[in-house]
């Protein structure tokens, strides 16, 4: 059996912040860290931008505002990781 967990990461080295059983928890961790980093509290809105349209896409937290054209990435990402509950030698082939 395989299950997907979600890893919150940050920075160029993609330092792991935590592993979660659902995407929302990993997002919440990234959002809390980004809010702590934010130098303009209350003036920005945020959104998770997927790398592609798949349900297993990596997402990066972006912030928008205060102007209409202002957008910046935060470096916080959520990475889906599929893990197996047992070793399957056939899967290695």
**What whole-number distance in Å separates Cα of residue 37 and Cα of residue 14?**
16
Candidates 9, 58, 68; CA nearest to 34 is: 9
| pLDDT attached to residue 69 | 77
Q: Token pair 């990475």 is at which residue?
A: 79
Q: In what order do the strands lie in the sheet with 45-50?
A: 15-20, 2-10, 71-84, 59-64, 45-50
Mean pLDDT of the chain: 88
- Residues 38-64 have pLDDT tens digits of 765 667 788 999 999 888 899 999 988
Q: Taking residues 28-46, what's their average pLDDT?
A: 81
Rounded Cα distance between 9 and 73, Å, is 13
37: pLDDT confidence band, cut at 50, 70 and 90?
confident
For residues 26 and 46, which has the higher predicted lDDT (pLDDT)? 26
- Give all strands (DSSP E) within the chain, no chain letters: 2-10, 15-20, 45-50, 59-64, 71-84
5-19 residue pLDDT tens? 999 999 888 889 999
């Amino acid at each position: 059996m395989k299950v997907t967990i979600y890893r919150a990461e940050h920075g160029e080295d993609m330092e792991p912040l935590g592993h979660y059983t659902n995407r929302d928890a990993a997002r919440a961790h990234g959002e809390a860290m980004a809010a702590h980093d934010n130098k303009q509290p209350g003036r920005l809105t945020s959104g998770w931008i997927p790398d592609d349209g798949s349900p297993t896409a990596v997402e990066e937290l972006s912030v928008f505002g205060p102007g209409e054209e202002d957008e910046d990435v935060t470096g916080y990402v959520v990475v889906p990781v599929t893990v197996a509950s047992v070793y399957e030698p056939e899967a290695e082939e």
